[in-house]
Structure 1
């Protein structure tokens, strides 16, 4: 019999670009470079997904075949922005615009060895600003009127606070029992 775990999920939103409160620059002055991954690459996106989410139980895309990754990444309004620290990928934010002017921050996070360096606030600030500018730039998509994200108690300990500090407001909270599964790691046996 497998054990279960209680997971709380928080849903947050911004309803105006003016809601965004940008993060202060890192204290050491080293501002990471943030760049859009302009060429859809299932290999790179899967790397980011497993490297960032491996220790916090991101599992919903682990069984996606190559074709599904490519199909998702090639959709109009899907963008991946990557933070680099010293030339090394440190984390990413994935945006998905819908036709109705709503943009979801689908995934956001840092590779574990880059957490605690104030990179997350910087990346989230730039990614959210891009979300506000995203939908109207793609043919057939209305200008952005709302940006939303969800995080849960399995995510990193600073995730919820980071969203709130960037001006996101809580609009829903849900609690559910989920099967207890060990973190998958970026590769089998990593954690």
Structure 2
């Protein structure tokens, strides 16, 4: 089966088309690094989309990744439950990647995705070194993923099919 990967970017914070209605979603940065929590979020959100690239990492590798000064994690809560999360990876080059982004299965289709993505992009631009925000998605992700990224102002700059 062919998989298409889409690469999108935003070169100015002025390009963000923000969705401001939270619908009760509370987004909070996890300021204390805990690799087990990041691993839980990765599995909770990614399982339905076959995220497998990090499943084989050892505890030490997870710890090194999460404790990197370039990686920051935000968690979305709804009525006290984990509703989603995103991780930002800010490089010295000024490129800040939305490395992981998604909603927990019980929260898909409830109108939270646009607001959460707005928060991800806004927080990426709040990192002082950011000159460009970028993300990639693929044809295995949720059917609305690409359109959500584009609706927030991200522009496609590359597409690959394997």
TM category (shorter chain) comes to over 0.9
Q: Give the number of aligned pairs.
A: 162
| Alignment counterpart, residue 101 of structure 1, candidates 77, 94, 107 | 94
- Structure 2's unaligned 5+ residue stretches are none
| Alignment counterpart, residue 157 of structure 2, candidates 150, 167, 171 | 171
* Cα distance in 2 between the residues matched to 1:46 and 1:37: 13
* Cα distance in 2 between the residues matched to 1:42 and 1:13: 28
| Alignment counterpart, residue 43 of structure 1, candidates 21, 36, 42 | 36
User: Is 1:151–2:144 an aligned residue pair?
Assistant: no
Partner of 1:183: none
Q: Map of 1:46-57 to 2, 5 A cutoff?
A: 46-57=39-50
Displacement after TM superposition at 1:91 (Å): 0.5
- SS of the equivalent of 2:41 reads helix
Displacement after TM superposition at 1:77 (Å): 2.2
Q: 1:36 to 1:24 in 2, by over 3 A?
A: closer
* Cα distance in 2 between the residues matched to 1:69 and 1:75: 10
Structure number, greater radius of gyration: 1
* Cα distance in 2 between the residues matched to 1:144 and 1:7: 30
User: Is 1:21–2:17 an aligned residue pair?
Assistant: yes
Partner of 1:188: none
User: Is 1:72–2:72 an aligned residue pair?
Assistant: no
* TM-score normalised according to structure 1 size: 0.82
Displacement after TM superposition at 1:127 (Å): 1.2
* TM-score normalised according to structure 2 size: 0.97
Partner of 2:26: 33
Displacement after TM superposition at 1:24 (Å): 4.2
Displaced runs of 4 or more, over 4 A:
none
- SS of the equivalent of 1:71 reads helix
- Structure 1's unaligned 5+ residue stretches are 137-142, 177-191
Q: Greater shift after overlay, 112-121 or 84-93?
A: 112-121
Partner of 1:8: 4
